[in-house]
Amino acid sequence: FHTIVLVSTEEAVVSTQSTGFTREYNMDVPESMANITMVYFKDHDYINYVWLYHLFGLYWGTEFFLACHEMAIAGAFVQFYWTRDKSKVHFPVVRGIWWVFRYHLGTVAFGSCIIAIIQLIRTILAYIQNKTKDSQSEIVKYLLMCLQCCLWCFEKVMKFINRNAYIYTAFKGAAFCTSCKKVFALLLSNVVRVGVINCVGAFVLFMGKFLVVMVTGMIGYFMMQKDTELYYWAIPVLIASIFAFAVAHTFFSVYEIGIDAIFICFAEDETINDGTPGREYYMSKNLMEWVDNSGEALKNLKRKKKQQKAQAKAAKSGGEVEMTEK
């Protein structure tokens, strides 16, 4: 900041400064105001970099907290999965939190830093779009929109890989880059199963959230109807439903991490074991049957869709032949 002190006379020259230019003009000052102290504040040139620094810290801190949450919950699930005698598992969540802060803070910090950098680049790009929206050509607008869309997709992909890498680190203790490499190869070798698990899991979780919101809204509606002093019930019910969705999303995220953790453990278990004596599976028979049946059901569904497309194509070509003969 800069402080400017001017002592005026009856005919004073007052200097006003702002970023990039200076003005000077004459003004008449009464005798009672013979001495005037003017204070002018000016931002430093590096203030924009300070804002970026704090914004990056906000992004990094938020992602770091979420990553610690994901790894701690994943640690609880992998302890249960990789223990044959389940009765020996005690305080898995507490132990998962201890593992994070004792062994894996570097992994969590590095993974969250990557997401924070992507988010910061997206924010800078959005700022540039907003500042140049009236002066740029249509081609530049579309290029910036495409770049923003690509960064959004890249962020989603990295979040997906990071979550699975945290799960792999939780039971293997590998470094972040090693975990990303291993878990990516593991997911590629189980693409069909990944599709099945994600589709079924996402649908079940969505139905759970939807049910919570609907029940909350209905309870709120009936409670508001009994209040004779309330004439407009829609806004309170809407606010209650929004809070219900936020709470449901928070709680169901634990189940979402659990689904991913069990699947990664299942895929790794199937890779290193074959069911023979000395290399028995850690998974239960019900889990193996459910995953295999889901994969078979997905294959049958794809086969059925192909048959329907072939029949529709054959019917269309047959109709064209009849029209030609007529």
The per-residue pLDDT for 65 is 95
Three-class SS of residue 18?
strand
pLDDT in tens, the chain (326 residues): 444 444 444 444 444 444 444 444 445 555 555 555 666 667 777 788 888 999 999 999 999 999 999 999 999 999 989 988 888 888 999 999 999 999 999 999 999 999 999 999 999 999 888 888 777 678 888 888 899 999 999 999 999 999 999 999 998 888 999 999 999 999 888 888 888 788 888 888 999 999 999 999 999 888 888 777 777 778 888 999 999 999 999 899 899 999 899 989 988 888 888 777 878 888 877 777 766 665 555 566 567 777 777 777 777 776 554 555 55
Nearest in space to 263 (alpha carbons), one of 182, 205, 196: 196
Residues present in the chain in total: 326
Nearest in space to 79 (alpha carbons), one of 224, 262, 294: 262
Residue 131 CA to its chain's centroid (Å): 26
Q: What are phi and psi of 136, to 5 degrees?
A: -95, 155
Nearest in space to 127 (alpha carbons), one of 43, 46, 21, 55: 55
Q: Dihedral angle at the C-alpha atoms of 202, 208, 213, 219, nearest 10 degrees?
A: 170
In whole angstroms, how far apart are CA 71 and each of 64, 305, 312?
A: 11, 39, 48
Query: What's the CA gap between 87 and 92, in Å, rounded?
Result: 12
Q: How many CB atoms lie within 10 A of CB 266?
A: 21
The per-residue pLDDT for 20 is 42
The per-residue pLDDT for 68 is 94
Residues 27-40: b if buried by 16+ CB within 10 A, e if exposed: eeeeeeeeeeeeee
Nearest in space to 73 (alpha carbons), one of 258, 268, 263, 264: 258
pTM over the 0.85 mark: no
For 91, half-sphere exposure in the C-beta direction (CA atoms, 13 angstrom radius) is 5
Nearest in space to 120 (alpha carbons), one of 43, 46, 45, 49: 49
